[in-house]
Amino acid sequence: MAPSAAAATQIDMSLEAPPPGGYVTGAEYHITSIPGQGGADSDNRVVFTDNGRCFAAYWRVGGKDSTGSSRVFPAVEKSVRWVPTTTGAHTIVATANEATATLTVNTVAPPVGAPPPPPDDPNANGCNDTGNPHAEKPGTGSF
């Protein structure tokens, strides 16, 4: 049986308003995502990319309730950090299962003498965490 349209994964995403003069390369901004319903009985990984390069990711937990019935993910708002490292056009994409949300923005050069953008740590931002940390391990269960 195919999942109903209501059970399909959805995602909404927004970026904080730009400061006067626009988004600045090397400055920190926050992107808010609201992955909607979907993915009952499985975990959802939400991945954020900037021009195809992952800059943040996190897992949303799914599963069964105490009666054994499948449950869908609630729409929970989450904010992730984005620091553009290049000047110009940025296509930011949030992906959860088959759903995507896209934002396109431009960044301007930082003021003369501004410190360079901090390097990304892919181990700290969830991009390298491809193994599901919520998967039930053999021989274990939940009560």
CA 19 – CA 14 distance, rounded (Å) = 15
**Contact (CB, 8 A) for 16 and 27:** no
Query: Which of 14-18, 51-55, 131-135 bottoms out in mean pLDDT, i.e. has the lowest?
Result: 131-135
| pLDDT for the residue 53 | 92
CA dihedral 82, 85, 91, 94 (to 10 degrees): -30
| pLDDT for the residue 93 | 95
Coil, helix or strand for 71? strand
For residues 130-136, average pLDDT: 60
Least Cα distance to 49 among 93, 101, 96, 89 occurs for 93
Residue 112: is it exposed, middle or buried by C-beta count within 10 angstroms (0-12/13-18/19+)?
exposed
55: left (phi over 0), alpha (psi -120 to 50) or beta: alpha
pLDDT in tens, 39-56: 444 557 889 999 999 999
pLDDT in tens, 59-72: 876 555 556 555 55
The larger pLDDT score, comparing residue 106 to residue 9, is at: 106
Percent of the chain with pLDDT over 90: 32
